[in-house]
Structure 1
Amino acid sequence: MKAFEICFTGFKAIERDDLETLSESLGLLIKKNITKNLHILCIGDNAGPSKIAKANDAGAIIIDKPQFIHFIETGELPESSVKQLLSLVESRRPVQSRKYNYEPPLDKDAQPYGRFNQAANIEKAVASLHGILLGVTADSKLKPAEHAFLELWVQTHQDISLDPDIVDIVDVLSDVLKDGVIDEDEYDDLFCLINDINQIRGFNEPNSHSQINQLLGLLQGIAADNEINKKEIKALVTWLEINHQIIDKWPASVIASKLSDILEDGIITKEEKNDLLTTVQKITGNHFCDTGDASDNTTECFDDISEVLHDNVGFCFTGKFKSGSRKAVESMAQNLGAITSKDVLLSTKYLVIGTLASRDWKYQSHGRKIEKAMSLKEKGHDIYIISEDQWLAAI
């Protein structure tokens, strides 16, 4: 079964963002609207009656903020809500469900994936693979570097390869990688299997999460051979036109702006293609031809700053740090006078990104904190996004 879906309504934007961040950290799936599969609707003081009525019709349980906080802290819900939730889950269980006998996949540290994060990470990986395949086939060829990238990507995502619905995709990819060619039948099979998974798992419900991850995969795919050609640029333009709902959302907004500048005069120069490649590599954090690394990497869209102030300045840290645990780096900043927070706030001056990407980020190259910081930056807020190395050099 997928993770529990929850929707927040009737809260101010900042309060809702904080509640959603807290929910995602526990593996709950955030929905902006009442979906047919919604489990919980959390209501604030300004909750609209139409959403409440729709949630009632869907059979979702309805709780307020204090009940939600109590649930987060203790795992407890009102008895009537527990009975309703169990009844709801049972009623949505497929009549004929497939049964598999396999052990939960382990991460690179030999630790089992959590039930909630596993579902979210599989959705992220499927969207990413969809985009990568679109990218490496954009110019109708599978070049040696693209072949190597695809092969290593499969190897570095062994954590999902044991999932029953992913096995068939891995089998087709294995055939592709044997001869280095994606023929028409294999191409159709791959995208048919991906679409089937999206349909069965509910991954194709309208949301920007999967679209952004698919875009990041597409960017990785077209840049895997360390160059971008005209056919790949056309593929990017077409993808953005189809997925126009996220055109104002980072990083789609940055790519759309770059493409608009490139296509303005109808001539695509070598310099423009190289500039786009650099932008793509910064967004994805992936330089495959230089590093041979096809795993998910942290974004490199950092601000170029000459100094980092700490005294009474707001800091937030995200990702995994080579210099120590999250608690340790926060303590280092606090000892220099910084005010640290668990989330990106309006008072946050610096968001420091750890060198290592987090397995459980919402997106391949970034998580919710980076997304929020980018959104605030585009709205004109005075906030800087810097790397762990930039921060260490300043202290």
Structure 2
Amino acid sequence: MDSDLRSYFRFTGKGRLEKSINSLLGLLEGIAIDGKVTDGEISMLRMWLADHQDVASRHPYSELVPALVAAVADGALDPDEREDLTWLCQRLRSTEFFDMVTADLQRLHALVGGIAADGRISTEEMRGLSEWLSEHAHLQTCWPYDEISTLTTKALSDGRVDETEQRMLLDFFTEFLAVLDERTIVRPIAFDGPEQSIGALCAVGPEVTFPSKTFCFTGASSKYKRADFEGLVQRLGGETLSGVSTKLHYLVIGAEGNPCWAFACYGRKVEKAVALRRKGVRVVILHENDFHDAVLDAG
């Protein structure tokens, strides 16, 4: 391949082009979600520009790059500039090559990366993120929507984001700062220190149905033995699996012994379910309490 085409090649595939525009759109949403734009967030936009400088003269970047360069030239991004750039991204992207779920997940990855770009996360940013998540509920059960949704709900439960919550959120959100390259997120959400928890892995208020669905159980329960769980599922028309696979719909985590559900207590099943979610498999990670609620609702 000619050397002057090599840098452009990484953006020529329809999927790669679409992803780069979705990522910019998510960054624009994320850095301005609290109505303020910091120097660190402007730096994220400049990083996007630097990553695309070799293709700035080629369509569609020949339209997008000059507009972005002009917008950040003064080290700021006012609401009109943001709206103009957002409008342009939306006109240049399509769902012809990506379904809406894939496109919106790419936006979500970039959005949380943009929120974390300046090294701090405010209550206003989390409220804006909560609104975005509510408007994109079709992403439920797709990595990392449920994890981010749970973290957001917990952080806003008392109406403010304290220092411990901010550290926890940054620990996860900064995993998405590399949205402009192909780095894979290689670890599930697990935090060092006393706040270590897999609570964020579990869906918030999940919709659980039993007929023709598959369930797997991990961890201990003070309420039922494993055979009791399996009997409930079968009585309600579902099927139980002994392990986690692409055939699984729900992984139920037992609640006994540790109120924060320490990750180390559950091991490989949770890790495998998280890995499948990252690959797009729609497996719901379900806390035992929500399972019991679903059983009662099912009658």
Same fold (TM over 0.5): yes
User: 1:170 maps to what in 2?
Assistant: 65
Structure 2 residue 87 is the aligned partner of structure 1 residue 192: yes
Work out whether residues 203 and 210 of structure 1, in 8 Å CA contact, stay in contact via their aligned partners in 2. Answer: no
User: 1:226 maps to what in 2?
Assistant: 119
How many angstroms apart in 1 are the aligned matches of 2:37 and 2:129? 17
Structure 2 residue 279 is the aligned partner of structure 1 residue 372: yes
1:121 Cα deviation from its structure 2 partner: 0.7
User: 2:185 maps to what in 1?
Assistant: 299
How many angstroms apart in 2 are the aligned matches of 1:269 and 1:296? 32
Work out whether residues 141 and 284 of structure 2, in 8 Å CA contact, stay in contact via their aligned partners in 1. Answer: no
User: In the superposition, relative to structure 1, how do residues 184 and 208 fare at CA in structure 2: closer, same or farther (>3 Å)?
Assistant: same
User: In the superposition, relative to structure 1, how do residues 232 and 300 fare at CA in structure 2: closer, same or farther (>3 Å)?
Assistant: farther
User: In the superposition, relative to structure 1, how do residues 213 and 137 fare at CA in structure 2: closer, same or farther (>3 Å)?
Assistant: same
Higher relative contact order (CA 8 A, sep 6+): 2
1:162 Cα deviation from its structure 2 partner: 4.0
How many angstroms apart in 2 are the aligned matches of 1:215 and 1:172? 23
How many angstroms apart in 2 are the aligned matches of 1:121 and 1:159? 15
How many angstroms apart in 2 are the aligned matches of 1:230 and 1:203? 36
Structure 2 residue 9 is the aligned partner of structure 1 residue 112: yes
Q: Taking structure 2 as the reference length, what is the TM-score of the superposition?
A: 0.59
1:143 Cα deviation from its structure 2 partner: 1.5
Match of 1:281 among 165, 169, 174: 174
User: 1:210 maps to what in 2?
Assistant: 103
Match of 1:150 among 45, 65, 76: 45
Work out whether residues 122 and 160 of structure 1, in 8 Å CA contact, stay in contact via their aligned partners in 2. Answer: no
Written as runs of structure 1 = structure 2, the 5 A alignment for 1:341-352 is: none
5+ long unaligned stretches in structure 2: 191-244, 248-267, 288-299
**RMSD of equivalent CA atoms:** 3.6
Superposed CA deviations along residues 65-110 of structure 1, whole A, max 9, x for unmatched, are: xxxxxxxxxxxxxxxxxxxxxxxxxxxxxxxxxxxxxx99845xx4
How many angstroms apart in 2 are the aligned matches of 1:379 and 1:163? 47
Written as runs of structure 1 = structure 2, the 5 A alignment for 1:48-197 is: 106-107=5-6, 110=7, 112-113=9-10, 118-158=13-53, 161-197=56-92
How many angstroms apart in 2 are the aligned matches of 1:114 and 1:236? 29
Q: Taking structure 1 as the reference length, what is the TM-score of the superposition?
A: 0.46
1:212 Cα deviation from its structure 2 partner: 0.4
Work out whether residues 285 and 299 of structure 1, in 8 Å CA contact, stay in contact via their aligned partners in 2. Answer: no
Identity level (%): 24
Work out whether residues 222 and 232 of structure 1, in 8 Å CA contact, stay in contact via their aligned partners in 2. Answer: yes
How many angstroms apart in 2 are the aligned matches of 1:376 and 1:192? 34
User: In the superposition, relative to structure 1, how do residues 377 and 157 fare at CA in structure 2: closer, same or farther (>3 Å)?
Assistant: farther
How many angstroms apart in 2 are the aligned matches of 1:114 and 1:166? 10
Partner SS state of residue 152, structure 2: helix
Work out whether residues 169 and 193 of structure 1, in 8 Å CA contact, stay in contact via their aligned partners in 2. Answer: yes
Partner SS state of residue 152, structure 1: helix
Match of 2:144 among 217, 226, 251: 251
